[in-house]
Structure 1
Amino acid sequence: MNNLLAAIMGNAELARDMIGGESPADPYIENIVGTCDHASELCKQMLAYAGKGSYELEVLDINEMVRSMGKLIRASVGDNIVLKIKLDPRLPGVEGDLAQIQQLILNFIVNSADAIGTETGEIKLSSGARYMQREALDKLYHGAELPEGEYVVIEVRDNGIGMDPATQTKIFDPFYTTKETGSGLGLSAVLGIVQGHHGAIQLFSAPGKGTAFRVYLPSTEQSVKEQMVTTVEVEAWRGAGSVLVVDDDLRVRSVAASFVEKLDFDVLTADDGREGVEQFRKHHDHLKAVLLDMTMPVMGGAEAMLGMREIDKTVPIILVSGYSEVEAGKLIAGDRPDGFLQKPFKAKALKSVLYEVMH
Structure 2
Amino acid sequence: MNPVLDQMRDLLRVVVPKEVPVHFELTEENPYIMGDASQVQQVLVNIVQNAGEAVSVPSGRVTIRTRLIEASEATLKQSRTASIPKPGRYVVLEVEDDGCGMNEETQEKIFDPFFTTKFIGRGLGMSAVLGILQAHHGAVFIRSAPGEGTLVQLYFPATEISVEEQKASETAREEAVQGGRGVILLVDDEASVRTVCSLMLTRIGYEVIAAEEGEQAVSIFRERAPDIRLALLDLTMPKLNGVDTLKRLREVKPDLPAVIASGYSSQE
- TM bin, normalised by shorter chain, reads 0.5 to 0.7
Q: Which residue of 1 aligns with 2:125?
A: 186
Q: Which residue of 1 aligns with 2:65?
A: 126
Q: 1:226 Cα deviation (Å)?
A: 3.3
Q: Which residue of 2 aligns with 1:334?
A: none
- Contact kept, 8 Å, 1:159 with 1:209, in 2: the verdict is yes
Query: In structure 1, how many angstroms separate the alpha carbons of the residues matched to 2:4 and 2:44?
Result: 10
Q: How does 1:101-180 map to 2 (within 5 A)?
A: 101-142=40-81, 145-180=84-119
TM-aligned CA distance change 1:144 to 1:138, over 3 Å? farther
Q: 1:82 Cα deviation (Å)?
A: 1.8
Aligned partner of residue 155 in structure 1, secondary structure? strand
Aligned partner of residue 28 in structure 2, secondary structure? coil
TM-aligned CA distance change 1:234 to 1:208, over 3 Å? closer
Please give the per-residue CA displacement for 1:51-73, whole angstroms capped at 9, x wherever unaligned: xxxxxxxxxxx111111001100
Quick check: 1:218 aligned with 2:162? no
Quick check: 1:90 aligned with 2:29? yes
Q: 1:118 Cα deviation (Å)?
A: 3.6
Q: 1:92 Cα deviation (Å)?
A: 2.3
- Contact kept, 8 Å, 1:151 with 1:218, in 2: the verdict is yes
Query: In structure 2, how many angstroms separate the alpha carbons of the residues matched to 1:103 and 1:181?
Result: 21
Aligned partner of residue 96 in structure 1, secondary structure? coil
User: Structure 1: any 5+ residue segments left out of the alignment?
Assistant: 1-61, 236-359
Q: 1:91 Cα deviation (Å)?
A: 3.2
Aligned partner of residue 161 in structure 1, secondary structure? coil
- Normalising by structure 2, report the TM-score: 0.59
Quick check: 1:81 aligned with 2:20? yes
TM-aligned CA distance change 1:163 to 1:183, over 3 Å? closer
Q: How does 1:235-250 map to 2 (within 5 A)?
A: none
Q: 1:87 Cα deviation (Å)?
A: 0.4
Query: In structure 2, how many angstroms separate the alpha carbons of the residues matched to 1:147 and 1:164?
Result: 29
Q: How does 1:1-359 map to 2 (within 5 A)?
A: 62-142=1-81, 145-180=84-119, 186-222=125-161, 223-224=165-166, 225-228=169-172, 230=175
TM-aligned CA distance change 1:181 to 1:81, over 3 Å? closer
- Contact kept, 8 Å, 1:143 with 1:201, in 2: the verdict is no
Please give the per-residue CA displacement for 1:244-269, whole angstroms capped at 9, x wherever unaligned: xxxxxxxxxxxxxxxxxxxxxxxxxx
- Contact kept, 8 Å, 1:174 with 1:185, in 2: the verdict is no
Aligned partner of residue 94 in structure 2, secondary structure? strand
Q: 1:120 Cα deviation (Å)?
A: 2.1
**Greater Cα radius of gyration, structure 1 or 2:** 1
Please give the per-residue CA displacement for 1:67-94, whole angstroms capped at 9, x wherever unaligned: 1001100111112212110000113210
TM-aligned CA distance change 1:162 to 1:86, over 3 Å? same
TM-aligned CA distance change 1:158 to 1:180, over 3 Å? closer
Query: In structure 2, how many angstroms separate the alpha carbons of the residues matched to 1:197 and 1:226?
Result: 20
Which is helix-richer, 1 or 2?
Answer: 1
- Contact kept, 8 Å, 1:137 with 1:143, in 2: the verdict is no
- Contact kept, 8 Å, 1:143 with 1:199, in 2: the verdict is no
Q: 1:216 Cα deviation (Å)?
A: 0.4
Query: In structure 2, how many angstroms separate the alpha carbons of the residues matched to 1:162 and 1:99?
Result: 28
Query: In structure 2, how many angstroms separate the alpha carbons of the residues matched to 1:120 and 1:134?
Result: 38
- Contact kept, 8 Å, 2:61 with 2:98, in 1: the verdict is yes
TM-aligned CA distance change 1:79 to 1:97, over 3 Å? same
Question: Aligned partner of 1:148: which letter?
Answer: P
Query: In structure 2, how many angstroms separate the alpha carbons of the residues matched to 1:185 and 1:205?
Result: 13
Number of residues of Structure 1 aligned to a counterpart in Structure 2: 173
Root-mean-square deviation over aligned CA pairs: 2.6
Question: Aligned partner of 1:175: which letter?
Answer: F
Query: In structure 2, how many angstroms separate the alpha carbons of the residues matched to 1:133 and 1:144?
Result: 15
- Contact kept, 8 Å, 1:143 with 1:200, in 2: the verdict is no
Q: 1:220 Cα deviation (Å)?
A: 0.6
Query: In structure 2, how many angstroms separate the alpha carbons of the residues matched to 1:129 and 1:148?
Result: 13
Q: 1:140 Cα deviation (Å)?
A: 1.4
Please give the per-residue CA displacement for 1:323-345, whole angstroms capped at 9, x wherever unaligned: xxxxxxxxxxxxxxxxxxxxxxx
